[in-house]
Structures are given as C-alpha cells and as structure tokens.
Structure 1
Amino acid sequence: MTTFVNEQVKKLDTALSRSFEKNLQGTKIVNLSSLGEKDQFLFQASQALDFSGNSLPSFEKVQEYLEKYGETFNQDNKATAELEWLFIAKCTIAIYGQVFSKVLNLTLPISESIDYWNGIHGNTVQEIYYALQVAPFRIFTLLKNTVKNINNTSTAIQEAKSLFSSSDFILTQLFPIHSTTKASTNNIATNRTQPFNALKFFTLSTFHNRPLILEIIRDEVDLKKKSLQKFRSQQAASLGILLLTPPEFNQEQGEFASSVASQARTCIKMIKYVMEPPSDDGQDGTLQQKNVHHLQKRLDSMSDIHSSSASDVTMELRSVVKNWSSGYHHNLKCVQSSYGVPSVLTRYWIPAVVSYFAGNWAIRYGFKRKEDIMYCLEELGKTGHDFILNWVWEPVRKVYETIRLKDQRLSILSKQGLQSDLDSLERMVVGFAKDNLHLSELDLSRLVIDIREGDMSVLLKEYEKEIKNPLKNVIAGDLLQTILIQVQKTKVDVDLAMSALDKLLKSNELNFAFLAVAPSMLLTWASASWFKNTLQGRSQQKIKKTGLPMRETLRRIERQLILNESTQDNELSEWNAMSREDCAHQTECETQGILLCEVHLLRAYASTLPLKNSTRARFMEDVRDLENPNLSSEQKIQTIARMNRFWSFL
C-alpha cells in the first residue's frame, strides 16, 4: 500500500513533469538517436528515476547516476539545459523522499524503546528483572575499567585498593548514566562526567521505604525514557520541516532552469539542516529546537551555492547521500546503544539459562522414565483409536443403517409366531366346547369371535365347576385340560404384550440410535470447539495485545490535535505565510512532525491485523485519513472517534 511519503513524492514529480512539459511548449522528444550522448543519458536517467511505484529510488541508484553524470560527462559535453535540470530535479526529489522516508521509519525503533521503558518504569517486578538482566554487563564493565585504570598507573596494588575502596568509582562504573550529563542527545561524544550523587537516591529510598538499588534503577529507566522522548521530539521537528518545506518545481517562479536550480539549492540546505545534530543554545545547555523560523534564519546565514551550474548542484547532492550514513543514521545508532532497548543477549540470557537447566532436567527425567512414557503414549493412542472407532464411527454407521432400514434386529416377536399362538388357542377352546359342552355351529362361531376378542368366560365357568373337586377331576374330569388351555391363554397374552412393546421399540428405533451416538458426538464436538476456540483465542488475544499500544497512540494523537486546535489559526508560521497560502491551517513544525510519527507508528501496528474480512485494509483507510494534511484537526478528531466506535480491539 502506498505510504504518505510516496504520495507526497508523487505530487512533487507530477508538478515537475507539468512544469517541464510547459517549458517545452508542446514539443516532444521523439527519437533518442537525434540527441547527443549526454542528452540521451540524462533523458534515460530521468525516465529510470520512476516514482509511480510503491518504492522510491534508493540512495545507491541515485548516487550511481550522479557519479556517472559527474565522472563520465564533464563540462565540455554540452547538453540541453532543460534535460540537465530535469535530471537534477528528479535526483533532488528522490533524495528528499528517501530522507523523509528514512527519518520517518527511524522513529519506529525510538517509539518502541519508549514503550519498552514505559512498561518497566513504576513496576517493581519489572525493575528487579531488568536489574538482574543487566547485572553481568555492569560487573563486566566495572572489572574492565578497573583493570584499565590499574594498567595506566605505576603503583598498581595501591591504586587497586583505592579503586575498590572508593564507593564513587564503583557506583559510577555500575551506573554511568547517573554520573554523565550530555550536552546533546544526538551528540554522544560531548559527555561531561560528575561525581555520583548517592545522597539523592538514599533520600528517596528512605522516603519510599524501598531498597536503594531499586531507586537507582528506577531513576535510570526514567532518564533513558526522557532522553528518548527528547530525541523523538527532535525527529518530529525534522519531519515537520521536511513536510512543510518540500521543493516545489513550478514554472511560476521563473524559467525552468533557474526555478529548478533555486529549489534544488534550497532543498539541499534544508536536508543538511535536518541532518545536523541540535546544538546547545546558550549557557543553560538547552537544545536548540528545530523549526521553520530557525530554518529561515539558517538558510539566510548558510553559505549559498553561488554557482548555478548543474555540476556544483550534483556535487552537493552526492555529498548529502554520502554523509547520510555517517551523519543522521550514525547519531541514531549512538542514541539507541546508549538509551535504547538492551540487546537480545541481555534480555534473554535469564530465560536461556532457566530453559537450559529445565530442559536438561526434562531430558534426563524422560530417559529415566522412557518405558513408562512410551507405554502412556501407546495407551493414549489406543484409547483415542478405540473411542473414534467404537463410540463415533460405529454409532454413526448404525444411525445410517437405521435410516435406510438395513438393520431389522430390533424385534422381540414375529407376526407369524403371534398368529400361530392365537390359532392354537382358538382351536383348543373350540374343541373343548364342542366335546364337553356340545354347542351348536352358531354358538361355536360366536365363541370363536369371543375368543379373538379375549373373552374366555365359557372356559372359566367349566374351570370353576371342575375345581370344586380337584383331585377327582384331575383324574377323571376336565380340570387338567382347562388349566392347560389357560396356560395357552397366558402365553397369548404375553405375546400380545410383547408385540405392543415391539411396535413401540420400532417406532422409536431412530431415537434410540441418536441417543446412543449423542454422548460421543457431544464429546467430539466439545473437543473440536475447544481446539478451535483456542486457536481463535490466540488470534484474538494477539489483536487485543496490539490494540493496547494502538489505543495509547490514538490517545496521544487526539491529545496533540486538541491542544493545538485553538492555536492553528493564530500562530501561523512566517515561513508558511511567505511561501504557501494553502498551509495556513497547518500546525507548527514539531506538532505536525509528532502527528506524522504517531500515525506512522499506528501504521506499523496495523501490519499485525488479520487480512480476513478486509480488517487491515479498512483500518488503513482510517489511518490514511489521520495522516491526510488536507483534513482539519476537528475532522481528524472525528476520525479517531469513529475508530473507537467501530473497532472493538481499540
């Protein structure tokens, strides 16, 4: 996605192209072969310095073209003035964009270091952990400086005794930041040492009822944080200057060549001014803050490039490119080494040592209990396999077979068996009535109907008569026959009951199948949901963790906008009033730079948002609204309010 710096550079390149085309008055370069060797190089180099993409031409590429221009084509080679100054203007825009982009990107490590010290400052546990982290480095520094001082003296033994008996020397070597004052945060070389003031920390320790070492550590963290904040404000001032005073290659200021020469010289002076470390202002040692007022004075006092020749301007551009690494970038490295986040070795040696011993113990314990561990793993695998096979796959397969009516085993009594029992009971009762009661055919047909309906009154009456003389009727009567017929009737009743139960089971067979598979499916669903929620929870936790610094960044942006909203219309910069009327509503140099730093930090945090549902793209739209210089402070405050309402992680 295109950044704010890319958009600014594209606008400058568009204005330059329009001015160049207007100067040519409609004529076009059609055939390169008709041009001279130098003109061909200038035209091709200008075309190669393309700003339409998402990346700017690198310093190395610009330096290559400048060196080739200066070494291969001397002043004797004549060239078209417009092409020559077009090439210089393109190089100037490329260097301006690279400086702007690099200064803006270099604010990120400073902001991250400030957040790191903010997380430590005021937290006693974090302060103790930080003291343990840097303890080996402090002891090593003390021993190294002690040996160095002993080697530089003739009386080594006596000097060693005096050094180790001197509390000021020990404290100064262990906590050098408390005994060193810097004339400039950027200029690390201008250090002035002073005796270690232990009385201040002793007083604070007594007042706060805290150990002396914790007070020293807390003050050290606070000093580093304030130093980084001061350097960040200087970066913001530099960004404000680059933002509010870009080179404008337009035809209205005069002829194309003279306009480009003037703007190129001014841009070179501005970049050199930005790359300079801030100097002491007066006797109080305060830093001279960079702003457009001070820039205007410096531009008037700086030695001008009197010569308007293209070779002189290209030499100045080459010097800017060469001095970048040894200038601004070197100062940033010095600040980072002195006040930035400790090195990876310093931060992680404690977890590394703990992990080493814990891992060593775990490995030895694992080899000692190797068989038990392997047995547990095998049993765990078998348990999982049996659960999936017996409690998930088989019940699901049975449900499928039940739906397709493939399994008919759930049956207690068949219809043929019940009908045969009923027919047997009917024949037995009819035979008994025909032999003993001598009923007519009509009565027998009625008896058959009564038997089918379950009425056995005829048989029961005979049974009542026979049971009056049971011994006699068992031998000579019909008591035994009536008893056996009632046994058959009982069997038929049982069959009827079982048939009704069979119908009930068959009607609920699918319910029983789902009831059998429900526990295993519920357990499987719960396990899958837990695993899914765990993965999503980590993602959501990551987003929420990113949302905390985002919310703090938005708070700083809104605070800066509110504090400067009332002064934007009244405190117009003299430089802006003289150069551009459309910047009348811009904030001051440092304020605009701070806003640009915070928005760029917000853009860096947004890179961790997920791409799903265009979350990152939509959030970047809001970020682009915040960095849009055409929007007023009130509109940006409304944008922040919209972001707080819409984005749940803020």
Structure 2
Amino acid sequence: MSFVIDQVRRIDSQFDGITPSLPPSTSEPSSTLARTTRLESLIKSLSLGPSRSLLPAHRIRSILSDAQVSQTCHTCKVYNVSYDVHTETAKQPEPSYEHELEWLLLSKATTQLYGLVLHTMIEQTIPLDDDIWYWDDIRSSYRYAGLYSIQTSPLRFWAWSKDVWHDLRRRGGRLEDGWTKFYELARDVVRQRSLADIQRRVVSPLALVREEALRKRKGLEKIKLLNANALGYLLGEGLSNESAHEEHAIGAAENADDETRTKNRHKWKATVVKSITLMEAVFREVNNPDTKLDSFDDAVTNLVVEDPWWKPYASTGSEAMTLKPEVVAARLENVISKCLPNYTTRTTTLVRKEYGRPSRIVRYWPAVTVALISSSTILRVAVNRKEDIITWIRELGATVIDFWSNWVVEPLKKVIGTIRHDESAEVSILSKRSLEGDRASLERMVVDFAIQHPPEGRNLTEVDIADIRSKVREGDLTPVLVAYEREMQAPLKNAVTGNLIQALLVQIQKTKVDIEVAMSGIDSILKSQELLFGFIGLTPGVLVCIGVYRSIKNTFGSRRGLKRHEKQGQLIRSLRNIDRILAAASVNKYEEISYKDHGLLLCETHILRLSARQTLPPRVFRDFVVELRELEDVRAGYERMNRTLERMWRAYARV
C-alpha cells in the first residue's frame, strides 16, 4: 500500500510509546483484571507489525464491539473523585488504567481506520485515469467516436423510444381510442422528434458523441481532483501531520520534564478526537454533490470548526479526558459503517453509471453479434471440409513429430555421443583400417617387385628388404620407378612381354594410398571440430523450437516480458506526471504545495512504487523507496522535492 503503510506504521509506533499510568494491582477484582487483559490483547491485535497489512473495516468494527467500551467517564484513582471540567482543583486527577487502555484501543483503531481511508481514496482515484484516457480517445478520433456511436446505439434507441412513449402518453395517446388514431399520433410524435434530432446533428453526426465524451471526462476529472484534495487534506491535517509536526502530542511526553509531561500527558487523546472529526468532515464534503473544488478546503475547515467536539475537546488533552469512550467509539463506528461505505458506493456509482466507460456488454456486443452471425457459415465450411481438415491436422502432427525427431533429438544424441567419445557417433569419411591395409599392400607389392627384379642381377638380402620397406613407408618407390623408366623405353613391347603393367599397378596403388593419406588428414580435422559440427546441426531445430515457443507464449501464455515493458513505461509516465504536477503546483509561503497537488502527487508515487517493485532489482528498489519517501514528504519543501525528482531521473534513467 505504498506510503499508507509507512504513515500508519509510524503513527502506530508512536502510540506504542504511550504507557498507561497506574497499572492494576493484584488486589483489584478479578473482573477488572480480566477486562484489562482483554483490552491489552485487543490493542495488540490492532498494532501494525513489520509483516502485517491494514485491517479491513469489518475487523476494526469487530474489535470495537469486542472491547465493549465503557459508558461512563473515567474514575480518578489518586483522589477518588470524578473529574469535572467546571470544577477547579489544585491538582490534575489521574485516570484509571482501564480507562487509559480504552483510549489507547480507540487510538489504535483510529490509526487503522485512518490508513484504510487513505488507501480507499487512492484505490478510488487511480483507476479514473483509464476512463479519462478512454474519453480522450473518443474525443480525439473520429474512428473511435464512430465505434462508440455504434456500441451505444441500442441504448440511445431505447432512450429515444422511452421519450417517444412518454410524449405520446402526455398527448393523450391511448389504444382504447382506436388503433388508427393512436398510430397517427405516434407517427406525428416520431416525425417531430426525428426532425429535432436532425436539427441537433446538422453540424456533424458525431458531434453529440464527442460532446458526451467531453462532459463525462469533466465529471471524472472533478471526481479525481476532489479525491486527491481530500487525500491531501487528510495527510496535511490528520494523524500524519500531528505525528510529524507535533510529536509531543502522541508519544514524546514521557521524555519531557515534569511540567511538560503533566501538561501534555493526555494531548494524544485530543489528536484522536481531532482526527475522527476531520475524517467525518472530509467524507461529508466529498459525498456532497454540490461541493466545488475551489472551496473544498474552506468547506471542510468550516465543518471541522463547527463540530461540537472541536473547540472543547480538540485543543487540550485534559478536556478530551472528559469524553466518554463510548461516544468516541460511536463516532468511530459511524465513520466505519456509514461514511466510508457511502463514499465508496457513491464514487463507484458515479463512475459506472454516469461518467465511466460503458460496460463490457455495451462495448463488445457488435463483435459478439458478428461472431454469432458468421458462426453458421464457419460451421458449414468446417463440416463440408471435414476430411481435408482432419488430413491437414494429421499431417501437421506428423510433420511436427518428424521435425522434432530428425532435427532436434537425433542431432542432440550425436552431440551427446561426441561429448562422451562414443565411437559409433564419431564423424568420419574414411574407415578406420582402410589406410593401414592399403599401406601394407603397397609395401608387399614393392618388396615383391624388388625381389623379382633385383638391381644389377643380385639377390636382395634381409637388410636390403628392410631398407626398401622403410622407404616405402616414407613414400619412396625407387625400385618400381627405376624399372618403370626402363620399361617405358619400349612401352608396347614391354606391356606385352615386360613388367610395365606391374609397375603401373604398383603406382596406382601408391596413388590410392596418397589419396587415403589426404583423406585421413581431412578426417582428423573433422574429428577435431566434431562438437562444433554437432552444434551446427542442432542449431536450426533449436532456433525453430525457440521461435515457435516464444510465439505461443506471447499469444496464449504469460506475457511477463510484455508486462515488464509496460511497467517500465508506467515508471516513465508516472515520473513525467509527477514532474508536471510539481511544475503546475500552487506553493504557499511555507514552500509547501497545496492539498490537491499533494494528493495527486501521492497517487502517482503509489503507482510508481507498485511498478518499481515489479521492475527494479530488490536492492535498487530499496534505494528507490528512500527517494520516494523524500518525494512524498511535503514538509521538505517545494525546492527539495524538485531536487529529489531530478536526482531520481538521473539515478534511475538507465534502470
């Protein structure tokens, strides 16, 4: 609840600092001890802890009912006499412990109700902007104005029909006088009203719609400004102001000297009385349809000053002590059960029936009608093309399954196999033993050729054969090449009777081995980049799946990304609105903006805090809240508020 919780928690903590005097002794009757224990428990239930929110109105009423606040004034414990404001006494009498607990309970309930009133006014004010934007769109666009005219045409026709009927009845039209006479009279009435409508719309057929939009926008603007003014007035004159400007009135008396403590000991009761009076006066003016915005502050002030509680009880705490707690509880109950519900009901009724946008039924009946009319055609097409549709769905399913299997699952398996060095999943363009077998065959062929055709007619020794083998492994085929050169001197003859064919076949085997060596190098390169190729094969399927998933998510699923973008846009709009409010604000001699501007500012900071909570990181959000609290403090002065806003623009523009 943004700043409302901060305000209520601060006020509540100050009331917690009040210690009722003269706690009951063990000699008190058991009924008195039981009642004080019950009151203490109810007071704790009204406290606002770190993790607790405001209590609802029905819960506050239930606690007040359970408290059974006494109907008599307090009994003095020190002097054993009842306090009378008209009796001059030498010393200030002390109230009973039970009476003090009742007042503390009423104070806690008032604090909770004060926060609930502030929150209700904010919740009633902020949604009005959506309706104001709706009417602005209609006023600024002929397309929207025409659409609105179509949407509301049944309502206008119904209103026109009722006017015709009432006019007809006023002229004495009755079916008992005969159908012919009734029909002629009805036709004349319809003709006259149609001519009147044509004359009103002679300038533009959409002029009436735009005029209606302007009228409703002005009504919403007045409600918004009244609520903002009431909100600012309650913050400027209510418990928040008392606890901030006059802290001695709530919890500071315990730390003062004896004279000040005696004087201000019960002044916090006057603060409670004043706050209840103020809330009633504000609600009375807000609910008054004749209230004018310019005179709102003066009207509320006059109501407060004229209240019977104000002069005798809201000035000093000692006079407030003479009030019966039951009377205070009754007025608190009146605010809970009548003022607050009446305000909510009236504002909601005005927005829904008078100035707000039309209901969903009115806005969407054209689209629903078109859908119903075209549904029969769509159904007929679906029935006639049933087999084609079923085939299309079946093929689509098969395509999706095949795509998932061939382009996602299989490449993923290969990538996993590569990572695990699975030999069956290795990328290879050459069998593992092919090069070794061809090399061994080439070696045997060269050795056999050298043995069959030894150089210089001598037999080869084992050393010579081993040397030939080692040279063949290095690619040296000298014995074969020497014989090939010799045989090429008479190629035709040696092809038939010589060794030319055998030498050629050995070189062909050498060429095959060279090709396999080159292929082996390429194969090694492929194996070194095998994981990269696996991911390249997996990438198209993954990209397609991600694209389809994001499309489905944006269309049918959660729109978290879009909502986050909208929240960021809302942050910028709220900061801009705050800047505009401060730029146009009225400032008094104390450098404080008016109650109306303060209320508008608090509504925007409320939106700002809610949007920032969902957008900013937690640690940044905590710093942001510190800036917001300084911006919400009207007592800081106009210039300091402007500097705070500028600092927020600089610090959080990037975020």
Distance 2:377 2:615 in 1: 39
Shift of 1:239: 1.0
Distance 2:485 2:60 in 1: 125
- Read off the aligned partner of 1:503 and give its amino acid letter: S
The residue aligned with 1:216 is 208
Shift of 1:338: 0.2
User: Is 2:191 the counterpart of 1:160?
Assistant: no
Distance 1:304 1:447 in 2: 125
The residue aligned with 2:348 is 333
The residue aligned with 1:349 is 365
Contact 2:612 2:621 in 1 (8 A): yes
Distance 1:460 1:326 in 2: 115
Give % identity: 20
C-alpha distance 591-41 of structure 1, shift in aligned 2 (>3 A): same
- Read off the aligned partner of 2:360 and give its amino acid letter: V
Contact 2:430 2:520 in 1 (8 A): no
Distance 2:119 2:554 in 1: 36
Distance 1:86 1:464 in 2: 125
Distance 1:388 1:599 in 2: 50
C-alpha distance 287-438 of structure 1, shift in aligned 2 (>3 A): closer
C-alpha distance 257-133 of structure 1, shift in aligned 2 (>3 A): farther
User: Is 2:55 the counterpart of 1:63?
Assistant: no
Shift of 1:59: 2.5
Equivalent of 1:54, from 52, 55, 64? 52
The residue aligned with 1:314 is 329
1:547-573, Cα deviation, whole Å (9 max, x unpaired): 444433322211222333xx64xx24x
1:65-214 equivalence runs, <5 A: 65-67=63-65, 74-75=71-72, 80-151=98-169, 154-156=172-174, 157=182, 160-167=186-193, 171=197, 198=200, 202=202, 205=203, 212-214=204-206
Contact 1:237 1:290 in 2 (8 A): no
1:271-282 equivalence runs, <5 A: 271-277=279-285
- Read off the aligned partner of 1:163 and give its amino acid letter: V
Q: Tell me which moved more, 621-630 or 553-562.
A: 621-630
The residue aligned with 2:13 is 14
1:485-564 equivalence runs, <5 A: 485-510=502-527, 513=530, 517=534, 520-531=537-548, 534=551, 538-564=559-585
Contact 1:429 1:485 in 2 (8 A): no
1:595-627, Cα deviation, whole Å (9 max, x unpaired): 1222223345556x3587677666655544432
The residue aligned with 1:454 is 477
Q: Alpha carbon RMSD of aligned pairs, Å? A: 4.3
Equivalent of 2:594, from 588, 606, 610? 588
Distance 1:220 1:93 in 2: 42
Shift of 1:371: 2.8
C-alpha distance 314-136 of structure 1, shift in aligned 2 (>3 A): same
Distance 1:49 1:400 in 2: 62
C-alpha distance 593-351 of structure 1, shift in aligned 2 (>3 A): same
Distance 1:328 1:216 in 2: 31
Distance 2:186 2:571 in 1: 52
1:503-558, Cα deviation, whole Å (9 max, x unpaired): 22432342685686455322123224435665589544333334444433322211
C-alpha distance 529-645 of structure 1, shift in aligned 2 (>3 A): farther
Shift of 1:373: 2.8
Contact 1:241 1:292 in 2 (8 A): yes
Distance 2:262 2:162 in 1: 64
Distance 2:373 2:654 in 1: 39
SS in 2 for 1:35: helix
- Read off the aligned partner of 2:103 and give its amino acid letter: W
C-alpha distance 135-4 of structure 1, shift in aligned 2 (>3 A): same
C-alpha distance 495-554 of structure 1, shift in aligned 2 (>3 A): closer
What 5-or-longer segments of structure 2 have no aligned partner? 76-95, 175-181, 243-248, 254-259, 313-321
Distance 2:362 2:213 in 1: 15
- Read off the aligned partner of 2:345 and give its amino acid letter: H
1:223-258, Cα deviation, whole Å (9 max, x unpaired): 211221112111111112110111445356976796
Distance 1:441 1:9 in 2: 111
Contact 1:6 1:54 in 2 (8 A): no
The residue aligned with 1:183 is none
Distance 1:399 1:99 in 2: 64
Shift of 1:132: 1.8
Contact 1:12 1:93 in 2 (8 A): yes
Contact 1:410 1:505 in 2 (8 A): no
Contact 2:229 2:597 in 1 (8 A): yes
C-alpha distance 32-338 of structure 1, shift in aligned 2 (>3 A): farther
Q: Tell me which moved more, 623-632 or 28-37.
A: 28-37
Distance 2:490 2:287 in 1: 135
Q: How many residues align?
A: 583
C-alpha distance 433-354 of structure 1, shift in aligned 2 (>3 A): same
Equivalent of 1:298, from 300, 303, 307? 303
SS in 2 for 1:319: helix
The residue aligned with 1:577 is none
Shift of 1:50: 2.3
- Read off the aligned partner of 2:57 and give its amino acid letter: F
1:398-426, Cα deviation, whole Å (9 max, x unpaired): 56666444567823834234333443344
Shift of 1:298: 3.2
Distance 2:460 2:375 in 1: 100
Distance 2:612 2:159 in 1: 40
User: Is 2:418 the counterpart of 1:410?
Assistant: no
The residue aligned with 2:501 is 484
User: Is 2:62 the counterpart of 1:45?
Assistant: no
1:376-409, Cα deviation, whole Å (9 max, x unpaired): 3333333333344344444554566664445678
- Read off the aligned partner of 1:590 and give its amino acid letter: K
Contact 1:557 1:595 in 2 (8 A): yes
1:125-162, Cα deviation, whole Å (9 max, x unpaired): 22222222222222122223433454565324366345
- Read off the aligned partner of 1:313 and give its amino acid letter: V
Q: TM-score, normalised by structure 2?
A: 0.75
Distance 1:587 1:463 in 2: 115
Equivalent of 2:487, from 456, 460, 463? 463
C-alpha distance 161-215 of structure 1, shift in aligned 2 (>3 A): same
SS in 1 for 2:477: coil
Contact 1:164 1:170 in 2 (8 A): no
